[in-house]
Chain A
Amino acid sequence: MSRGLYAYAITRDRQLDLAGPWLIGHRGLALVVAEVELDRFTGLELDEPTEDSPLAVLARYHDAVVRAVFQREPVLPLRFGTVLDGVDAAVRLLSARHEEASAWLDRVEGRREWGVRVRAPEREPINLDEMSGTAYLTLRRQRLNATDAVRSGAAAVHRALEQRAAESTCRDLSGDLLLEAAYLVRTEDEEDFHAEVRRLTGELGLRVEITGPWPPYSFTKVEFADA
């Protein structure tokens, strides 16, 4: 077996021109698929993930197909590397998971994912040469208080954004990150959501990085076992 049916996403069964991938429809749902050489997916390494490495090219393409669907219809992105035996298997899957998939599609319809990263403001380095011991200790205390303030500030940002999102999820923090979260936002609430990000982080002097809009990758973490 050297060829298989790569599955990108589940969506509603509509006319979509995807310039390559096509839809296998069943009772109103569809699986977005393309025939692929399985060799392309073996031995992928992430050791040097540059833009032109095989994994990066395949992942970018996977994302591009999911996005092309996402521009027109609600979408459930499938995990990278999902390959089916053939059309029969695709139909069996859609048939067995019809209710669940339909419910998940309703849940993400009209909503887009936004990533938000918040960091503390940058600070001037302390110049020890021109500083007395007392002045240093005072500055140190000020900075400790400031660290507490930005932490609670980041928590306040999350609470405010959570209110403006349909769903949210926080990731583990690393390095100097104070908040790393994804929000599933109704399109009609996006303007308000972004205004709130700018307003709050501006007021609190926090550095913020926003990514998106994304298809609802972080909100479709669901496992479909086939029948």
Chain B
Amino acid sequence: MDNRSSSLADTLERVLDKGVVIVGDIAVCVVDIELLTLRVRLFVASAQTAREMGMDWWTDDPFFAPKAVERAAANELAAENAELRERLAVLERALEEKRP
């Protein structure tokens, strides 16, 4: 009687959040089901987010993440800046050497 083939998130979502609810005197709810149900929703949501993070194809896609364009542009600027500083340093050293 085991079912490891279903994901824990899917199983929890169904077992905790679905099915027949018995209310009244004869049912003694020892678990705070409402609280657990709320938490399982959060867990299912975050498991899904995690799964999506594993396939984070859009984070660097400028179409879905305009910031990716900004990031790319910023990187380019930084690289250009570094290269110019480098060239300036070479020129300054050359000038220094030519000084009598």
Binding site for B on A (CB under 8 A): 4, 7, 10, 18-19, 38, 41-42, 44, 46, 49-51, 55-56, 59-65, 67-68, 76-85, 89-90, 92-93, 104, 115, 122-123, 125-126, 128, 136, 139-140, 143, 174-177, 211, 214, 217-218, 220-227
Contact = CB atoms under 8 A, between A and B. Distances in A.
A217 B19 CA distance: 5
Contacts of A226: 22-27
Interface of B: 1-4, 6-12, 14-16, 18-31, 33, 36, 39-40, 43, 45, 48-49, 52, 55, 57-58, 60-63, 69, 72
Contacts of A174: 45, 48-49
Given A4-B28, A84-B26, 15 more contacts: A10-B20, A50-B8, A77-B19, A79-B15, A80-B16, A80-B19, A80-B33, A81-B29, A82-B21, A82-B27, A125-B61, A176-B58, A218-B18, A225-B24, A227-B24
A213 B63 CA distance: 38
Contact of B14 (A123, A217, A227): A217
Contacts of A61: 1
B33 to A, nearest CB: 5
A222 B52 CA distance: 33
B19 A76 contact: yes
A224 B33 contact: no
B30 A4 contact: yes
A123 B58 CA distance: 8
Nearest to A173: B48
A27 B14 CA distance: 29
A81 B31 contact: yes
Contact of A41 (B27, B31, B57, B69): B31
B45 to A, nearest CB: 6
Contacts of A49: 8-9, 12, 43
B23 A115 contact: no
A36 to B, nearest CB: 9
Contacts of A92: 26
